Amino acid sequence: MGAGCSALCLPASSSLIAFAPKTIAVSNSSTPTSNYKPKYSSPFAPNTILFSRPHLRTPHRSMDLSSSSSPVPSSSLLPVGCGRSGELEEARDVATPGHGSGARGVPPGLLEKLVYDALVWCSLHGLVVGDKSVQRSGTDPGIGLVHAPFALLPMPFPEGYWRQACELAPIFNELVDRVSLDGKFLQDSLSRTKKVDAFTGRLLDIHSKMLEMNKREDIRLGLHRSDYMLDAETNLLFQIELNTISSSFAGLSCLVSELHRNLINHYGKDLELDSRRVPGNTVVSRYAEALAKAWNEYNNSSAVVMLVVQTEERNMYDQHWLCVVLREMHGVASIRKSLAEIDAEGQVLPDGTLIVGGQTVAVVYFRAGYSPNDYPSESEWRARLLMEQSNAIKCPSISYHLVGTKKIQQELAKPNVLERFLENENDIAKLRKCFAGLWSLDNIDVVKSAIERPELYVLKPQREGGGNNIYGDRVREILIRLQQEGSEELATYILMQRIFPTASCAYLVREGICHQDHAISELGIYGAYLRNKDKVIMNDQCGYLMRTKVSSSNEGGVAAGFAVLDGIYLT
């Protein structure tokens, strides 16, 4: 799943330097690489970017998304901390570019080859999505394919912060599980939000029904992604959000990492880059492993894993990669059903077995259901309740889903709240270190500050999926309106500290067009957690997702057209 303002918060003395994107248009002909001549739509012309100190800074806009020749990396490509670190240590002395230097100064002739070869690689290796201009591309596989938006070269990222983010994943996994068991905490924390937010209210109603039934989820599976940005002002890694439902791009993110390794293996000498500094990405195989282990715990060899999907899904191939690995590596079958189809075809037997379309469902894996748009009628809500009432393993359960709301994120950041759920002081300190400022709108002083300096804050509603956050002058306007109205709607939002990441020069490729621009990135770390009663079967960091967008963009969704998939180059 698993999402600025135009005003940039910079010191008054900051100098202004103008830049503009260079664009490469790639033709659809089969011209060989050696003769391939992209068309430049415009010369290198200005597009304002603001500099502060020696490097670019631009305020945070959170990014929510709506991938070697093999989709499953080998053991030599394991993430740092999970595989062979000796290669990385050796590679550090070979090529460690400054921030963004890997994307600067690429000769035009080499750039043409890189773009051409990258587009061929994407087409041959399944780094694809449905083409929005083709009507059936979101419903019928094989129709209207186009390469997924991607960064031509991986984004430099400091290895120390990378390791920090990876180490946090198992702690957040455990925290989600602990919080999910405290039904009173979830209900109390979201009680005011429920009164004014119908969607959160419906989720809480289902949760209440499960509490009334004393419904126990003995087998609990979480496939999470925690998203971070590196703040240039404080040199701290801050969490943007924790996604507990529909953490997407497990399949395609692996392919992007392999694309970058492939390009650097071929052109690394000219680029002065070393492919060993691109960490391997195992998330698709690790997520498949987690689903397979959950299926095994259910202990019914004829049962299936059911993906709950949207009726139209241009990102279906990311999901299919996971299902292919699940089938080919673990022998587990999967089916795809929309919420409406589950309502029409589903039933729960007296013993709690979930049957959909005549098949027993062992694991329900949600790739939909996180947005009000996924529930256009009562049919979809009936399907959600039906699944929760069953003994199928839900990923996520309604409790896990609620833990991922913005309000719970803000509650957990309050003093002494983490201690309610975790005992290890070191783990608590690590989590607190990555928390950005988070406040409810009951905090009068913070609201006043946000009205006076809206560029320093982000106003967040209880929504997933991107395009929902509020920035800049709109923060001031909405806060003033809500205060004047004395509206209960205040409870639907939280305020978050604005993060100011460093921007780097990058080449962003979308629909065969390569744009050179200054960009910022958001790092997502995937985690998997599986528990059967008191036994923790899996609690691991599984891989990563880097999303990059032009620094002037207010939004960051890949599927929505704002961001691209990226990889990491450890520095």
Annotated binding site: 225, 241, 243, 245-248, 313-315, 319, 367-370, 406, 460-469, 471, 496-499, 522, 547, 549, 555, 558-559
Return d(Cα 556, Cα 554) in angstroms, integer.
7
CA 1 → CA 101, 224, 276, 388, 508, distances in Å?
31, 9, 29, 20, 22
Overall residue count recorded for the chain in this entry = 571
Return d(Cα 471, Cα 458) in angstroms, integer.
5
525: β partners: 226, 544
Judge whether 433 counts as a catalytic residue: no
Does residue 396 have a cis peptide bond before it, meaning omega lies within 30 degrees of 0?
A: yes
Identify the active-site residue in 57, 61, 220, 225. Answer: 225
Contacts of 550 (CB under 8 A, 6+ apart): 21, 508, 515, 517, 518, 519
Question: In sequence order, what DSSP letters do the residues of 474-491 get, joined into one string?
Answer: HHHHHHHHHHHHT-GGGG
Question: In sequence order, what DSSP letters do the residues of 62-113 get, joined into one string?
Answer: ---------SS--GGGPPTTTS-HHHHHHHHTT----TTGGGSS--HHHHHH
Contacts of 109 (CB under 8 A, 6+ apart): none
Return d(Cα 512, Cα 24) in angstroms, integer.
8
Judge whether 257 counts as a catalytic residue: no
Identify the active-site residue in 112, 241, 341, 380. Answer: 241
Identify the active-site residue in 547, 551, 552, 553. Answer: 547
The pair of three-digit structure tokens given for residue 292, joined into one six-digit string: 């397979």
526: β partners: 225, 543
Identify the active-site residue in 102, 126, 465, 527. Answer: 465
Q: What residues are designated binding site for Mg(2+)?
A: 241, 243, 464
Judge whether 547 counts as a catalytic residue: yes
Identify the active-site residue in 57, 220, 406, 531. Answer: 406
Judge whether 222 counts as a catalytic residue: no
Judge whether 98 counts as a catalytic residue: no
Q: What residues are designated binding site for substrate?
A: 225, 245-248, 313-315, 319, 367-370, 547, 558-559
Judge whether 112 counts as a catalytic residue: no
Provide the phi-psi class of 249: left if phi over 0, else alpha when psi is between -120 and 50, else beta: left
Identify the active-site residue in 194, 261, 394, 460. Answer: 460
Radius of gyration of the chain (CA): 23
Q: What residues are designated binding site for ATP?
A: 241, 406, 460-469, 471, 496-499, 522, 549, 555
Return d(Cα 292, Cα 74) in angstroms, integer.
19
**Degrees (nearest 5) of the Cα angle 357, 361, 366?**
100
Judge whether 406 counts as a catalytic residue: yes
Judge whether 337 counts as a catalytic residue: no
CA 137 → CA 32, 123, 545, distances in Å?
28, 16, 24
Query: Distance between terminal CA atoms of the chain?
Result: 28
Identify the active-site residue in 101, 243, 275, 338. Answer: 243
Judge whether 460 counts as a catalytic residue: yes
Identify the active-site residue in 126, 464, 551, 553. Answer: 464
Q: Please identify every residue annotated as catalytic.
A: 225, 241, 243, 248, 406, 460, 464-465, 547
